[in-house]
């Protein structure tokens, strides 16, 4: 039976690094990079005698994420030790949460094929990250251990096995990532590993209700790799089943070079982590005051904002989704709209700018709104110039690009670069005369009934005027001259 | 005996201890004796009793999110049995 | 100027007064202590490391402050020693184990910081059972420690060196740790005062961890007042230890001399009924009678679950220890041995060579108790029994202020007597583990010498949470009434 007779069921575990200044259990900096072991101290090195000291902001950020995702935030949650031996785990255990995590339930909204759905979450918990093992650092083949990342705070967000296609999985990750970035708790960087995803993948024949045996897939640090990995894994599992075998529960690493998953050497025999409550940390008590404080500062979330743009501003779903993908872009748009004020179709026009030329320039330069030379006020001002007919479509695009790249006020840029639209009737007439003079055949066909040729004339006049003709004036002049 | 030799070996692997055959035998006997002794806890009715996993009943204050100076990397690896630059060096890790 | 011998006989409190009055200098006291260690420690084995030059420099600094009338407090200039599981920056710290041989920490334990901020002169690191696992100091990887009352006997453990050094007059005060009796039992065996504060009273930051929910650093002194003076300096919230209490620290000297009148002393009769050697029981009963004579009221209390204390303790402590000792893997510090088979081989060979038999046993036991399928039956059940124990004490403390009983079933036993039977060794802790499990403060105060053996017997006092002040008051009342013990006779040579 071909693969299409099977369906895939996925649950995703996302490890999101929380954007705190210091680590979860000590005051070392969480800054990326740095010389090996430059951001370490006795605590995160796991020296004898050290104890964890819990960073308050980690808890706030976890509560923030939990509230935004509609979870139940637990008033009491318990830290646990997950025991295993590995060089990047200095204490020989990871401090995490096990039986009583900080959040339970909740969901992530996704839109696939125009349909809205909420993917259920099982839980969110806090834990510390491990360090890094680096291969081949020494001539004798030894590996190096760098504990700069050890102790960086993570939120682990576990979804239910509620995703039934790779597209859904990717939408889920995009949505979750956008929410976390909106909240300011995570920077969404897959390549640097601050937003990591492991996938639990199983297959079952279509129509079956029971879940198949799942495998955990790790090491997919881009959406493209995720797609490759899951496609491979689905094929692999189907082959096993078709051949009469049983899928083994295992942890598999994605190998980007080969596009395959392969079984990992297990970190801990029989996966016996011997979890027990962490005696060095009292149970975490989260009171109403903290929850209300965090709730008060929650921003409008991407999904809600997109809905509002459609409802209140009349934007299309597509436009709304593009605008709200990143909080800083949406906020820029909001500010531009506010600066633009009441005006015809303001939202639509500004949205077109944002999703068109501005997005293009942003992608090209790799710059974030915070550092753009283009400001919301300038964008609004540019659109006002267009509204007033001072500059035409093409001229405005050129003006925008200039302002984006080099700064300056739109009105001045238009003037300085001679981008202004020409509305002067005399000038338009001169150009029209020139065009009509050399297009006698077309004039005759036009007057003979082929009205579609107006487009041709307009185009020619524009060309004559180097694109600066005011289209309305050009049209009016031509109509007059052609005798309509 | 409460513990079989197989179990002794399994535990030793989990704990990353390399026991000699003599140690395995010795520990099997000694640990079995202790386990026999602690089995008396089964006499007690603990239904509905909360475990006392934490010895301090207070919720203690949390730490503000402020960066404090780290150890200089040289100092962090000073006690290392083996190092490469400021890395801790270990035998090759195979994933 | 006092002679060195008389100087060393001073209590910490007496020395402090003499230092304050400048009748003696810190340097003299320190030199006397160092000389005494030189002369006697080959026989006692209390010290694993002596930091003579460092101590001298600190003594000189203390003297300089005294000359300016700027003494930092009662401990300024007083020679002390601390158990070798308190990390001391720049001074080797082994926790009694080969796996930490040569390890020089980059930071100080919180209690060391506090002692030194108070001007104390730490002369060295004291011998102990490896990773605090033991009741006789025989599990030290380096050398045994001997009881100054009888060098063929143990000083107790795991803070054997901390008690022996005091009894041998090698220091004026010491710090130990107590997880299941490791301060109180050696204090009882060596005839000194030893206090285990309430869990959370003293910071565990910088203390090599054995069992995280049971460990507590505490003072040992030749007198109750000495122990109180040390506790005053080390107690208090430390933001680096999230299990340290924010509760304000009492003034332990304030009610020290208030006497026993008005106190109600609870006596768990079952503790004296059986399992306590007759001579020990006799001294303990006499102490109880003394309390009555002094105006305290005695009431019987029932602590029905305490007989399960050892069983619960020997599941919980090894379980936590098995996790705490996982960091000793040869990667970042301490011993490393190469083994066959790369990384895994290195772990196993290192831990095999580095750990002695008792840590190995407890790691095995603890790993088992936490492992899949056994967690509920062992670890979880033991933690529930712990709750039952705690409730016993809560009920008892509704009717009394302190609970009194024996510290140990016997006086100090001979070296080698119990080493081949771990379980027999564990049962030494039967009266002391209850305090740690129930998170209560406990102390041992000498209550005389065993009539036949002529060895010290200790009386255990257990108090309400954070009520060390009442324990000290009750202990002082007994001490004042019965007078000091004679000096131990086994060390003839006096420096």
pLDDT in tens, C376-397: 999 999 999 999 999 999 999 9
- Specify the pLDDT at position A284: 97
Q: What is the pTM of this model?
A: 0.91
- Would residue C88 count as lying in a domain? yes
Q: How confident is the model at residue A45 (pLDDT cuts 50, 70, 90)?
A: very high
- Specify the pLDDT at position C489: 81
Decide if pLDDT at A163 tops 90: yes
| Cβ pair C423:B81 closer than 8 A | no
Strands C297-300 and C264-267: parallel
What value does the mean pLDDT of chain A take?
92
Q: How far is C209 from chain A (nearest CA, A)?
A: 6
- CA dist C327 and A90 (Å) reads 6
| Cβ pair C338:B91 closer than 8 A | yes
Decide if pLDDT at C494 tops 50: no
| Cβ pair B51:C380 closer than 8 A | yes
Q: How confident is the model at residue C495 (pLDDT cuts 50, 70, 90)?
A: very low
Decide if pLDDT at A350 tops 80: yes
**Maximum C-alpha span of chain B:** 58
Q: How confident is the model at residue A265 (pLDDT cuts 50, 70, 90)?
A: low
- Specify the pLDDT at position A199: 96
| Cβ pair C243:A280 closer than 8 A | yes
Interface test with B, best of A19, A36, A76, A97 (most B CBs within 10 A): A36
User: What is the token pair recorded at C458?
Assistant: 């200790």
Decide if pLDDT at A3 tops 80: no
Q: How confident is the model at residue A421 (pLDDT cuts 50, 70, 90)?
A: confident
Query: What CATH number corresponds to the domain at position C60?
Result: 3.90.1300.10
Find, in chain A, the residue whose alpha carbon is nearest to that of C86. A49
- Specify the pLDDT at position A70: 96
Give the helix/strand (H/E) hosting A95: strand A93-97
Q: Which chains touch A (3 or more CB pairs under 8 A)?
A: B, C
- Specify the pLDDT at position A290: 94
- CA dist A410 and A406 (Å) reads 11
Q: What is the mean pLDDT of residues C166-173?
A: 97
Q: How confident is the model at residue A392 (pLDDT cuts 50, 70, 90)?
A: confident
Residue of higher predicted confidence among A52 and A424: A52
- CA dist C272 and C263 (Å) reads 21
Helix (H, G, I), strand (E, B) or coil at C48: strand
Residue with tokens 């709304």, as numbered in its chain: A320
Q: What is the mean pLDDT of residues B53-81?
A: 94
Q: What is the mean pLDDT of residues C120-133?
A: 98
Residue with tokens 């712990």, as numbered in its chain: C386
List of residues 6+ apart from A19 with CB closer than 8 A: A30, A61, A184, A185, A186, A187
Are A286 and A59 contacting, i.e. CB atoms less than 8 angstroms apart?
yes
Select, from the ranges A131-145, A420-434, C229-243, the one with the highest average predicted confidence (pLDDT): C229-243
Decide if pLDDT at A437 tops 80: yes
- Specify the pLDDT at position A68: 97
Q: How confident is the model at residue C124 (pLDDT cuts 50, 70, 90)?
A: very high
Domain that holds residue C233: 4-264
Which of A36, A147, A282 faces B56 most closely, judged by CB atoms?
A282
Across A8-12, A139-143, A463-467, C450-454, least confident range: A463-467
| Cβ pair C245:B12 closer than 8 A | no
State pLDDT tens for residues A325-337: 888 899 999 999 9
E strand segments, C157-201: 174-178, 193-196
Q: What is the mean pLDDT of residues C412-421?
A: 92
Q: How confident is the model at residue A467 (pLDDT cuts 50, 70, 90)?
A: confident
What value does the mean pLDDT of chain C take?
95
- Specify the pLDDT at position A86: 93
Distances (CA, A) of C27 to A422, B28, C31, C61, C80: 98, 53, 6, 9, 13
Select, from the ranges A243-257, C109-123, C272-286, the one with the highest average predicted confidence (pLDDT): C109-123
Quickly list H helices, A122-189. 166-183
Tell me the CATH class for A425-482: mainly alpha
- CA dist A158 and A153 (Å) reads 16
- Would residue C448 count as lying in a domain? no
Across A217-226, C42-51, C118-127, C327-336, least confident range: A217-226
State pLDDT tens for residues B31-52: 999 999 999 999 999 999 999 9
**Which residues from C are below 8 Å from B8, CB to CB?**
364
- Would residue C277 count as lying in a domain? no
- Specify the pLDDT at position A327: 87
- Specify the pLDDT at position C127: 98
> Given 3.30.465.10, 3.40.50.700, 3.40.50.1360, 1.10.20.60, which CATH number is that of B5-42?
1.10.20.60
Q: Taking the CB of residue A239, how many other CB atoms lie within 10 A of it?
A: 11
Q: How far is A100 from chain B (nearest CA, A)?
A: 13
Check residue A377 and report its DSSP letter: H
Q: Taking the CB of residue C298, how many other CB atoms lie within 10 A of it?
A: 16
Q: What is the mean pLDDT of residues A104-113?
A: 93
Q: Which residues of A415-430 are buried (b: 16+ CB within 10 A; e: fewer)?
A: eeeebbbbbeeebbbe
Domain boundaries, chain A: 3-294, 300-416, 425-482
Are C70 and C113 contacting, i.e. CB atoms less than 8 angstroms apart?
no
- ipTM of the modeled complex: 0.96
Decide if pLDDT at C277 tops 70: yes
Q: What is the mean pLDDT of residues A240-254?
A: 90
Q: What is the mean pLDDT of residues A456-480?
A: 88
- Would residue C493 count as lying in a domain? no
Q: How confident is the model at residue B21 (pLDDT cuts 50, 70, 90)?
A: very high
Q: How many domains does chain C have?
A: 1
State pLDDT tens for residues B22-33: 999 999 999 999
CA atoms within a 13 Å half-sphere pointing along the CA-CB vector of C453 = 22
- Specify the pLDDT at position A465: 87
Find, in chain B, the residue whose alpha carbon is nearest to that of C105. B79
Decide if pLDDT at A444 tops 80: yes
Decide if pLDDT at C1 tops 50: no
Distances (CA, A) of A128 to A42, A63, A80, A325: 15, 16, 11, 29
Decide if pLDDT at C481 tops 60: yes
Q: What is the mean pLDDT of residues A359-388?
A: 92
């Amino acid at each position: 039976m071909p693969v299409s007779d099977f369906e895939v069921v996925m649950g995703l575990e996302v490890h999101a690094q929380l954007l705190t200044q210091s680590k979860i259990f000590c005051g070392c900096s969480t800054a990326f990079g740095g010389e090996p072991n430059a951001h370490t101290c006795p605590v995160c090195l796991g020296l004898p005698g050290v104890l964890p000291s819990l960073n308050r902001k980690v808890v706030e950020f976890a509560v923030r994420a939990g509230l935004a995702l509609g979870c139940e935030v637990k008033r009491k949650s318990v830290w646990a030790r997950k025991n295993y031996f590995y060089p990047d785990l200095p204490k020989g255990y990871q401090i995490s949460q096990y039986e009583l995590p900080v959040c339970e339930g909740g969901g992530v909204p996704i839109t696939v094929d125009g349909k809205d759905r909420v993917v259920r979450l099982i839980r969110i918990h806090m834990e510390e990250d491990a360090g890094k093992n680096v291969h081949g650092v020494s001539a004798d083949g030894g590996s190096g251990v760098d504990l700069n990342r050890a102790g960086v705070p993570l939120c682990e967000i576990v979804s239910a096995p509620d995703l039934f296609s790779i597209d859904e999985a990717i939408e889920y990750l995009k949505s979750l990532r956008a929410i976390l970035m909106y909240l300011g708790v995570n920077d969404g960087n897959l390549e640097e590993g601050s937003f990591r995803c492991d996938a639990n993948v199983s297959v079952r024949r279509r129509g079956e209700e029971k879940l198949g045996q799942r495998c955990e897939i790790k090491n997919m640090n881009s959406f493209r790799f995720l797609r490759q990995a899951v496609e491979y894994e689905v094929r692999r599992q189907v082959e096993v089943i078709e051949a009469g075998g049983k899928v083994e529960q295992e942890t598999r690493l994605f190998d980007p070079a080969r596009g395959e998953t392969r079984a990992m050497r297990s970190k801990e025999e029989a996966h016996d982590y011997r979890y027990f409550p962490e005696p060095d940390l009292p149970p975490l008590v989260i009171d109403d005051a903290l929850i209300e404080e965090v709730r008060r500062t929650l921003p409008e979330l991407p999904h809600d904002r997109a809905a509002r743009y459609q409802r209140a501003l009349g934007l299309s779903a597509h436009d709304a989704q593009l605008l709200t993908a990143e909080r800083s872009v949406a906020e820029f748009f909001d500010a531009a709209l506010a600066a633009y004020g009441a005006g015809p179709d303001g939202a639509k026009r500004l949205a077109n700018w944002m999703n068109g030329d501005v997005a293009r320039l942003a992608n090209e330069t790799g710059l974030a709104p915070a550092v753009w030379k283009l400001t919301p006020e300038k964008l609004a001002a540019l659109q006002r110039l267009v509204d007033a007919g001072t500059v035409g479509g093409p001229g405005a695009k050129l003006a925008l690009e200039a302002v984006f790249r080099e700064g300056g006020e739109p009105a001045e840029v238009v003037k300085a670069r001679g981008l202004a639209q020409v509305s002067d009737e005399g000038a338009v007439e001169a150009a029209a005369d020139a065009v009509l003079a050399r297009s006698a055949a077309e004039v005759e066909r036009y007057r003979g009934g082929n009205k579609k040729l107006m487009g041709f004339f307009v185009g020619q006049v524009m060309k004559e005027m180097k694109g600066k003709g005011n289209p309305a004036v050009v049209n009016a002049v031509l109509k007059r001259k052609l005798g309509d | 005996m409460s513990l079989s030799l197989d179990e002794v070996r399994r535990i030793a692997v989990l704990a990353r201890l390399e026991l000699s055959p003599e140690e395995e035998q010795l520990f099997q006997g000694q640990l079995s004796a202790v386990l026999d002794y602690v089995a008396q806890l089964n006499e007690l009715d603990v239904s509905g009793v909360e475990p006392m996993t934490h010895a301090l009943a207070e919720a203690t204050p949390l730490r503000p999110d402020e960066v404090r100076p780290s150890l200089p990397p040289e100092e962090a690896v000073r006690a290392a049995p083996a190092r490469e630059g400021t890395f801790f060096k270990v035998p090759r890790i195979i994933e | 100027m006092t002679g060195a011998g008389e100087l060393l006989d001073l209590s910490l409190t007496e020395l402090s007064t003499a230092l304050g009055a400048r009748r003696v200098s810190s340097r003299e006291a320190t030199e006397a202590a160092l000389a005494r260690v030189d002369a006697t420690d080959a026989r006692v084995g209390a010290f694993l490391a002596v930091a003579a030059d460092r101590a001298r420099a600190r003594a000189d600094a203390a003297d300089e402050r005294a000359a300016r009338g700027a003494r930092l407090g009662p401990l300024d200039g007083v020679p002390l020693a601390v158990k070798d599981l308190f990390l001391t920056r720049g001074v080797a710290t082994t926790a009694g184990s080969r796996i930490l041989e040569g390890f020089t920490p980059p930071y100080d334990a919180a209690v060391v910081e506090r002692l030194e901020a108070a001007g104390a002169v730490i002369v060295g690191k004291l011998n102990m059972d490896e990773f605090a696992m033991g009741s006789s100091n025989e599990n030290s990887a380096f050398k045994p420690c001997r009881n100054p009352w009888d060098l063929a006997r143990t000083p107790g453990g795991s803070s054997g060196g901390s008690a022996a050094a005091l009894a041998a007059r090698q220091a004026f005060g010491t710090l130990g740790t107590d997880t299941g009796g490791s301060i109180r039992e050696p204090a009882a065996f060596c005839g000194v005062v030893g206090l285990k504060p309430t869990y959370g009273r003293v910071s565990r930051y910088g203390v090599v961890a054995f069992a995280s929910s049971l460990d507590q650093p505490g003072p040992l002194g030749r007198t109750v007042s000495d122990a109180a003076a040390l506790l005053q300096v080390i107690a208090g919230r430390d933001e680096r230890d999230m299990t340290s209490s924010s509760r304000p620290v009492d003034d332990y000297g304030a009610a020290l001399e208030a006497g026993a009148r008005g106190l109600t002393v609870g006596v768990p009769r079952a503790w004296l009924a059986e399992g306590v050697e007759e001579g020990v029981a006799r001294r303990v009963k006499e102490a109880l009678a003394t309390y009555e004579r002094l105006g305290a009221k005695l009431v019987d209390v029932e602590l029905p679950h305490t007989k399960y204390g050892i069983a619960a303790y020997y599941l919980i402590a090894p379980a936590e220890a098995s996790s705490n000792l996982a960091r000793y893997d040869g990667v970042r510090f301490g011993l490393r041995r190469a083994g066959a088979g790369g990384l895994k081989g290195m772990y196993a060979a290192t831990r095999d060579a580095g750990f002695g038999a008792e840590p190995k046993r407890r790691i095995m036991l603890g790993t088992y108790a936490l492992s899949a399928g056994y967690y509920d039956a062992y670890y979880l059940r033991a933690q529930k029994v712990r709750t039952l124990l705690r409730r016993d004490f809560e009920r008892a403390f509704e009717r009394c202020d302190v609970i009194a009983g024996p510290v140990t079933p016997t006086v100090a036993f001979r070296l080698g007597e119990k080493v081949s039977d771990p379980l027999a060794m564990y049962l030494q802790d039967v009266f002391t583990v209850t305090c740690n499990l129930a998170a209560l403060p406990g102390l041992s105060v000498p209550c005389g010498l065993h009539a036949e053996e002529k060895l010290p017997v200790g009386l255990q006092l257990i108090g309400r949470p954070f009520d060390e002040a009442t324990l000290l008051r009750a202990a002082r009342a007994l001490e004042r009434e019965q007078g000091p013990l004679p000096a131990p006779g086994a060390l003839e040579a006096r420096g």
